[in-house]
Amino acid sequence: MKIERQYRVAVEHHNPMEPFATTVVREDDGSLTIYDKTQGSQSNQAYVCSIFGLNKDKVRIVNAFMGGGFGSGLRPAYQLYLAVLASQTLERSVRVALTRDQMFTFSYRPETIQTVSLGAEPTGKLTAIKHHAVAGTSHFEDHQEVVVNWSGLLYDCKNAKLTYELAKIDTYTPADMRAPGAVLGVFAVESAMDELAYETGVDPVDLRLLNYAETDENDGKEFTSKALKACFEEGAERFGWSKRSPEPRSMREGRELVGWGMATGVWEAQVMDTQARATIHADGTLEVASATSDIGTGTYTVMGMMGADMFGLPIEKVRVKLGDSSLPTAPVEGGSWAAASTCSAIKLACQALKKDLLKQAARWRTSR
């Protein structure tokens, strides 16, 4: 038994509420303080320094608040380049803000055409997974995402062939957008699994359980943890899945036809090298700081919570600093790694600070 289906996903723009804008404040000595809409103050600092040949100590990027990113601010947007160029040329402060219309001309999830081919025994046990994707990119850059790998990760199948290619079109380069690649690829393979469930007559949840992957067969590695089976079972139980009728047009609520479906989502749990600073002040307040960003995801809050938790302080006694290239080194906020990475760094910084405090307190006691 086999199915082969094509899935097309159109271009999708991030278009966060706050359009891109850059304000370059130029001091008399030529140093720049740049207020920029970005998910990475330090990566944009490196970008400006490298393109304009400036020293790091002359360029500070501030992004203390950001009106949404969704990945559009992972790379510097072009108004940063234009604003710094104008500021350097005119030797004055400059602001460049983009209009809503302009927000539709760059940084978008790429259009993608995918073919998923699934071979299965009549029981629904997968015998072959083939997943081929062609994604659009610009003529001047090869934008790449992880689109097809998820199909080899999600299901136990000894035959898998996953291929990913690009094709050039006359548009701007696509950009990472909200679980880049995974949204495209997992949508396709999960749609195909639904088609297979229909073809084989196997319940969609049972089909997933039958082909459940106990190891990462792409990399031949154990999962550090995986509770997806429990999620399926709990979800089915809470949803009343057993009451579902699989026949199309067979379920009604009053005069409305109702369909129930399910799908799996996958994303990585990543942790990146991140530095943080913890400072305790004489008035008993704690400050935690890192050059990460808060793109509306609550980084300020989780950093404050971590600091408060480490010192047993009420959260009002914790100040959080982020969104400034002069703070301890952190990567762009993206990939869902910021909370795990930044809070781990804060935990270590607080542990070191506590140890130091206790050592100083002990010394103070014996010296009296």
Tokens linked to 183: 């949204």
Nearest partner of 295 among 31, 126, 94, 69, judged by Cα: 69
Tokens linked to 214: 């106990």
* Closest approach of another protein to the CB of residue 175, in Å: 10
* Closest approach of another protein to the CB of residue 119, in Å: 4
Q: How far is 182 from 184, CA to CA, in rounded Å?
A: 5
Does 159 bind another protein (CB under 8 A)? Our answer is yes
Does 165 bind another protein (CB under 8 A)? Our answer is yes
Residues 262-321 that bind another protein (CB under 8 A): none
Residues 174-193 that bind another protein (CB under 8 A): 181
Does 124 bind another protein (CB under 8 A)? Our answer is no
* Closest approach of another protein to the CB of residue 337, in Å: 11
Q: How far is 211 from 153, CA to CA, in rounded Å?
A: 11
* Closest approach of another protein to the CB of residue 219, in Å: 7
C-alpha count within 13 angstroms, C-beta hemisphere, residue 86? 15
Does 130 bind another protein (CB under 8 A)? Our answer is yes
Does 204 bind another protein (CB under 8 A)? Our answer is no
Nearer Cβ to another protein, position 304 or 331?
331
* Interacting span for another protein (CB under 8 A) from 54-62, 136-144, 240-248, 281-289: 136-144
Total number of residues that touch another protein (CB under 8 A): 72
Residues 322-361 that bind another protein (CB under 8 A): 331-332
Nearer Cβ to another protein, position 82 or 228?
82
Q: How far is 162 from 159, CA to CA, in rounded Å?
A: 10
Q: Which of 23, 54, 68, 119 binds another protein (CB under 8 A)?
A: 119
Q: How far is 99 from 64, CA to CA, in rounded Å?
A: 21
Q: Which of 21, 25, 62, 134 binds another protein (CB under 8 A)?
A: 134
Type and span of the H or E element at 344: helix 338-366
Cα Rg, the chain, nearest whole Å: 25
**Residue 34 · residue 80 · CB < 8 Å:** yes
Q: How far is 196 from 125, CA to CA, in rounded Å?
A: 10
Tokens linked to 95: 């602001």
Residues 48-107 that bind another protein (CB under 8 A): 50-52, 74-76, 78, 81-82, 85-86, 88-90, 94, 96, 102, 104-106
Amino acid, single-letter form, for residue 305: M
